[in-house]
Structure 1
Amino acid sequence: MDLQTILAEVESWPIEDRLRLVERIWEGLGDRGDEPGLTEAQRAEIDRRLADDDASPDDVVTWEEVKSEALRRAGR
């Protein structure tokens, strides 16, 4: 079976099954040590965020605030 045929079949699956497939594939890559490395842009963003945290360690959001905002956005 060729890749296009497989993709067409997978696209017909329910979203939950497709997400499970993606998770299994991703986990399998990590098990073999095939995880992709960070791009320069990703590495720069992580460095920027770490520097920001170091500069303002007290500038935080509590879990309660995060949860409340997430629930608000989800309409609950």
Structure 2
Amino acid sequence: MTSTSDVFESALTLPESERADLAHQLIASLEEPADDPAVVAEEWNAEIRRRLASVESGTTVGIPWAPA
């Protein structure tokens, strides 16, 4: 059986772009279904509604943006 340290050492021999692709694939394999674009969009919509309600109720005060 191959150990994780053996896999890691082998991965280090790959070119940088292939290591990045492998890292992305490994991270993607850990992601939960919540990363579904429809779920993410609904979560952002809920957050926007929450922030808008906070501004409209006066519990949040905006800070003017000054261009650099």
* Alignment TM-score, normalising by the size of structure 1: 0.43
Larger radius of gyration: 2
Q: TM-score, normalised by structure 2?
A: 0.47
